[in-house]
Structure 1
Amino acid sequence: MIKIFNTQLNGIFQKIDAQESEIDIAARLLAQAIIGQGKVYIKGFGDLRYLEEFLTSGDEKLPDTERLITETVIDQTDRVILMAPYYDESVIEYIADLEKNNIDYVLVCNKDPRIDCMNFIDLSTPRALVPTEDFSRIITPHVMAMNYIYYILYALIKEMLDEEL
């Protein structure tokens, strides 16, 4: 089972790596806020909401990063990272509010035909990975994939910030 999981997980990481240009564009968009007068806000949905605290308080958090909560006032100098396992109604409503207020954002979730945004990164975890004896599947590594994407963004943004100094 471990070998199957490892193989499947490596496949997800390769799919994420294949989105190099999308990730680079997202990193540049987020770096604009940090270099300028804005902040980067983090908003998670589903299981990815548990990463909000880690990404805003951990040792390797981006500068000027905060959790996006209901009372937060954001403006056009700010950027938002939206993380969701699936593109559901709560994500769609949140995006509608951001777009209404002309707030740039990066959406990280699994592909959905309804997604129509410029800054999208496919989470690449649409289903559980490991087959079981009863032919079901277990382990849907949304958090691992998002963490991998975050660390790529972190490294790219850190490199951009170091060049600015």
Structure 2
Amino acid sequence: MLKMFSTQTTGLFKKIMDGEEFAFEDCARLLAQASIGDGTIYLHGFGEMKGILSEAFEGVEPFPNVMVLYDDNEELASLTNADRVLFFTRSSDDSEALSLAKYLQEEGVPFTAVSTLVPSSGLSLDELADVHIDLRLQKGLVPDDNGKRVGFPSLMVALFAYYGIRFTLDEILQEYGEE
């Protein structure tokens, strides 16, 4: 089962790389505006995607020029239109993420949402975000003995997208001599 999971994960990574290449660039450009200008990049993860914060702040290579969007008391940072927000959630119809997206849009704060695009009868993150990156993880990657799909690596796939954004941002900042 692990070999099948590995193969499916590799295929999913390739789909993300191929399908979201321009979105990675657009996101990195958006974030670079804050790094190069007077803004701050704010990062957030909903649910299991909070694991992104551990990598960004405590990993071997911390994300440059980034701060948490919510403090330990769940208070939202004071944002300006010079700031940029990057957040991760499992699906594009996540109600908490949609509330944040609506708020950011109303306040004129540009943001990127990273999630799996799912059919929705209402608003979706891909409609609200300045940039949306689709994780393309619709169901578990491997069938179990009963035919049920298991192995839903949402955080792993989000970390792959995180690194796609990070590497692209690093390239842009190096061009501008900011890194």
Identify the TM-score tier after normalising by the shorter chain. over 0.9
Question: Structure 2, unaligned stretches of length 5 or more?
Answer: none
State the 1:65 CA deviation: 0.4
State the 1:7 CA deviation: 1.6
**Are the counterparts in 1 of residues 140 and 151 from structure 2 also a CA contact under 8 Å?**
yes
* Structure 1 residue 17 corresponds to structure 2 residue 29: no
State the 1:34 CA deviation: 0.7
More deviation in 97-106 or 136-145? 136-145
4+ residue segments displaced more than 4 Å: none
State the 1:40 CA deviation: 0.9
What SS does the corresponding residue of 1:98 show, helix, strand or coil?
helix
**Are the counterparts in 1 of residues 110 and 130 from structure 2 also a CA contact under 8 Å?**
no
**Are the counterparts in 1 of residues 56 and 62 from structure 2 also a CA contact under 8 Å?**
yes
Amino acid at match of 1:159: E
* Structure 1 residue 92 corresponds to structure 2 residue 92: no
Amino acid at match of 2:34: A
Aligned alpha-carbon RMSD (Å): 1.3
State the 1:84 CA deviation: 0.3
Deviations 1:94-119 (A, max 9, x none): 10110110000001000034421330
State the 1:54 CA deviation: 2.2
What does residue 54 of structure 1 align with? 55
What does residue 28 of structure 1 align with? 29
What SS does the corresponding residue of 2:90 show, helix, strand or coil?
coil
Question: What is the distance in 2 between the residues matched to 1:133 and 1:64?
Answer: 47
Question: What is the distance in 2 between the residues matched to 1:118 and 1:38?
Answer: 16
Amino acid at match of 1:91: A
Question: What is the distance in 2 between the residues matched to 1:46 and 1:8?
Answer: 23
Question: What is the distance in 1 between the residues matched to 2:151 and 2:139?
Answer: 8
- Please show how residues 73-152 of structure 1 align to structure 2 within 5 Å: 73-86=78-91, 87-113=93-119, 114-115=123-124, 116=127, 117-152=129-164
TM-score (normalised: structure 1): 0.94
* Structure 1 residue 164 corresponds to structure 2 residue 176: yes
Query: What is the percent sequence identity of the aligned residues?
Result: 30
Question: What is the distance in 1 between the residues matched to 2:110 and 2:59?
Answer: 24
